[in-house]
């Protein structure tokens, strides 16, 4: 009886162990089939000379590491004591074939300023590639090689991905071609600094230098993203990598192929996230939407009636959950298209019909130096001064007050010397006296929303009245 009981327990152990094994994906088929679609990219940047270059300390350490495992030298790296070849690669990356006649997607930062781009296929054939187009805003580039009947990837729907699902990357980390690493999706729709047009996919897949531009696969072997960035203190993988969603890449690649550039929609506004404090100051029930902090004169937004302080909650039927959603929807809109924009203004929901413009090729930011003059701190810790004619001209002739010094709650909120206060709780400022008088009427502990002008941009800052 005891023997049967032990056998039963052992059988249960094997059963549950087999269930766990079933849950773990097998990427071997993807590695075998899709590895053929991934390419290695090496570039020589413009202005690079052909003189001999000695190995850096980091390269020497890597060489020593590979020697310990019986590998004579790291791929793409010259052994110590030997001269580098003429026109040595000044950068490496990865890419993948999207059309069988030789169109390849990679990252813009891999081939930007490249004089020569060499694409190496999995069968070891090498081709000089033509750069069809580069889009730095999304970090996507399209290349073309003279080849036919190439294996190509199949794209998946990046809008259907979920946090926790398994994914795999194939690329050339440190020049090691066709290396596969696996992990899960850690987060979706990540907004990174200065990257307003891309809702990044965050993963814990090991991504290292050389993986840039390579594909991110789902368990079906479909490409759902392009591995683009990592967060690292050491330069290597720390489990924080970011991929450009496939739908963004496809749209960019199609425009680059057709036009050689990407044409995006534009409103001409400065937006910011809505914090809990700002939502309270605006009388909002939640923090959803994109807060309009500034409107450029004679821009589509200006012509369409948008004002600083408006909260955009819907753009052309697309709900704006956070401010980073808006640039992507606007950018994907064809210029000269009139779209409904739903806003919250002074507690009321309004719909404006705005004709979308074309995004400028360059954005100019004007920096200014401002003088300090003595004065007294008001109840929120500000020393203010009237604007000079030159400062008024800088903000388009509007009224405002110059911040000469800052302390207390205003300093905590992030207001800086040199900022120009334009609006308080949706009311334009008139004078120092009226501003300070209005402050005295506000109960201590209440949060007010102050619209600032700073270095060419405007932004709202929530400030708590009183100590």
Catalytic residue among 139, 310, 325, 419: 139
Strands 318-319, 401-406: pairing kind: unpaired
What distance in Å separates the CA atoms of residue 81 and residue 102, rounded to the nearest whole number?
38
What distance in Å separates the CA atoms of residue 106 and residue 132, rounded to the nearest whole number?
11
Q: Is 158 a catalytic residue?
A: no
- Do 168 and 191 touch, CB atoms closer than 8 A? no
Catalytic residue among 94, 212, 237, 281: 212
What distance in Å separates the CA atoms of residue 432 and residue 430, rounded to the nearest whole number?
7
Residue whose C-alpha is closest to residue 331's, from 100, 94, 116, 140: 140
E strands of 52-138, at which residues? 91-99, 103-107, 114-120, 126-128, 130-135
Under 8 Å CB-to-CB from 102, ≥6 apart: which residues? Answer: 127, 144, 145, 146, 147, 148, 150
Strands 215-217, 223-230: pairing kind: antiparallel
What distance in Å separates the CA atoms of residue 66 and residue 55, rounded to the nearest whole number?
15
Q: Is 310 a catalytic residue?
A: no
DSSP output for 134-194: EETTTTEEEEE-S--S-----B--GGG--TT-EEEEEE-GGG-TTEEEEEEEEEEEEEETT
- Do 461 and 272 touch, CB atoms closer than 8 A? no
Provide the CA 108 distance to its chain's centre, in angstroms: 13
Q: Is 222 a catalytic residue?
A: no
What distance in Å separates the CA atoms of residue 257 and residue 90, rounded to the nearest whole number?
26
DSSP output for 305-319: T--TT-EEEEETTEE
Q: Torsions phi, psi of 310, nearest 5?
A: -70, 145
- Do 294 and 269 touch, CB atoms closer than 8 A? yes
**Which amino acids are annotated catalytic?**
109, 139, 212
């Amino acid at each position: 009886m005891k023997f049967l009981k032990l056998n039963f327990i052992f059988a249960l152990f094997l059963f549950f162990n087999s269930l766990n094994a079933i849950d773990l994906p097998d990427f071997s088929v993807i590695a075998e089939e899709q590895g053929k679609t991934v390419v290695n990219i090496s570039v020589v940047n413009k202005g690079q000379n052909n003189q001999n270059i000695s190995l850096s300390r980091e390269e020497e350490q890597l060489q020593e590491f590979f020697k310990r495992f019986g590998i004579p030298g790291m791929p793409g790296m010259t052994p110590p004591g030997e001269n580098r070849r003429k026109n040595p690669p000044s950068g490496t990356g990865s890419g993948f074939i999207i059309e069988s006649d030789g169109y390849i997607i990679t990252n813009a930062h891999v081939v930007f300023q490249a004089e020569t781009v060499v694409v190496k296929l999995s069968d070891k054939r090498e081709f000089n590639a033509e750069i069809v187009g580069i889009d730095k805003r999304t970090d996507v580039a399209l290349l073309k090689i003279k080849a036919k009947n190439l294996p190509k990837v199949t794209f998946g729907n990046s809008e259907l991905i979920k946090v926790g699902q398994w994914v795999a990357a194939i690329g050339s980390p440190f020049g090691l071609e066709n290396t596969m690493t696996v992990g899960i999706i850690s987060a979706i729709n990540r907004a990174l600094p200065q990257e307003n047009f891309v809702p990044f996919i965050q993963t814990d897949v090991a991504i290292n230098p050389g993986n840039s531009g390579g594909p991110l696969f789902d368990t079906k072997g479909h490409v759902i993203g392009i591995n683009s960035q990592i967060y690292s203190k050491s330069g290597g993988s720390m489990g924080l990598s970011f991929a450009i969603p496939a739908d963004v890449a496809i749209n960019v690649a199609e425009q680059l192929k057709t036009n050689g550039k990407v044409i995006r929609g534009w409103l001409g506004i400065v937006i910011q996230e809505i914090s809990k404090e700002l939502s309270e100051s605006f009388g909002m029930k939640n923090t959803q939407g994109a807060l309009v902090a500034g409107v450029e004169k004679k821009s589509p937004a200006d012509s369409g009636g948008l004002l600083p302080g408006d909260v955009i909650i819907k753009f052309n039927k697309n709900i704006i959950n956070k401010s980073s959603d808006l640039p992507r929807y606007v950018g994907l809109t064809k210029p000269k298209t009139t779209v409904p924009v739903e806003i919250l203004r002074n507690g009321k929901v309004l719909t404006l019909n705005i004709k979308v413009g074309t995004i400028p090729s360059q954005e100019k930011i004007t920096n200014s130096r401002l003088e300090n003059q003595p004065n007294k701190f008001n109840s929120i810790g500000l020393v203010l001064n009237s604007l000079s004619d030159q400062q008024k001209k800088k903000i388009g002739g509007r009224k405002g007050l110059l911040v000469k010094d800052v302390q207390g709650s205003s300093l905590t909120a992030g207001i800086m010397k040199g900022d120009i206060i334009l609006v308080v709780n949706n009311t334009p400022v008139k004078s120092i006296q009226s501003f300070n008088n209005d402050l005295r009427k506000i109960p201590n502990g209440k949060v007010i929303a102050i619209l600032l002008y700073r270095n060419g941009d405007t932004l709202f800052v929530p400030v708590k009245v009183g100590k």
